[in-house]
Amino acid sequence: MTKYSSRYASSPEAVKKYDTQELRNEFLIDDLMQEDEIVLTYSHYDRYIAGSAVPLKDLTLESIDPLKAGYFLERREMGIINVGGKGTVIVEGVSFELAFKDALYIGSGNQEVIFKSDDPKNPAKYYINSAPAHSTYPTVKVSLAEANKLELGTMETANHRTVNQMIIGGVVTTCQLQMGMTELRPGSVWNTMPAHVHDRRMEVYFYLDIPENQAVCHFMGQPQETRHIWMNNHQAVISPPWSIHSGSGTSNYTFIWGMAGENLDYGDMDVCKITDLR
């Protein structure tokens, strides 16, 4: 079964006036990882889709009404990262085994996508991102070990982290979708600091590995008009192109970042000086 919801774009002027619940309603995705269902959120920022599939029995990807397409990937590409037990994704009859934190890129034009779990008692938990695509590129699996790894930050600034670039140029060829996973070291809590914006791309963060009874405070908004959303494990948050996207946890954690938009330049960002944030 597939469930979906839509989120419309919000202007920065409107967001300045949102209270806590309005902010959460617009940007927080808190219904992911439902067993035996595919759950999708369609954002009007760059027509990006974020969602999940947790198969106790086989789940088949179907088109949803906003796409007006015969099948889901008719005009789209997709990235998947497994954050649960071992599983298999079948694409046009070809099986791709995904262990914990392995990724899969699926190019446009693939009509059949089936999600499976090796053990329904410990099901795979597939986190899904999708963006429109104008060309077709090969389907490629990227294990966590095969990711391009960047060591950033320091323990002294509480942001020592490993950035695993997985679905990104130099590793996988895509139209506009980029995905990866950043793992914070024990004792570090800040991600993506100094914060930045990139008007050329929107982004979605998905938080995982948050210990029980801990949380992450996600910061968003224009650099001089910041807001925050408290996040729990396996929740995602939409970041508009005009918004910073940064978080600090009550413990170390992991987050998956995905983005799409005008270009594929990972380093294209306008950094905000920490002391200029408001």
Binding-site residue numbers for Zn(2+) are 196, 198, 203, 245
Q: Find, among 167, 68, 59, the residue nearest to 112 by Cα.
A: 59
- Residue 33 makes CB contacts below 8 A (sequence gap 6+) with 39, 52, 54, 84, 125, 234
| SS3 sequence of 2-52 | EEEEEECCCCHHHHCCCCHHHHHHHHEECCCCCECCEEEEEECCCCCEEEE
Could you tell me if 67 and 76 are in contact, meaning their C-beta atoms sit under 8 angstroms apart? yes
Reading the block at residue 29, the tokens are 């995705």
Q: Pairing state of beta strands 225-231 and 190-191?
A: unpaired
Could you tell me if 167 and 81 are in contact, meaning their C-beta atoms sit under 8 angstroms apart? no
- Which residues does the annotation place in the binding site? 196, 198, 203, 245
CA distance 216 to 104: 26
CA distance 31 to 37: 11
CA distances from 4 to 155, 218, 274 (A): 40, 24, 37
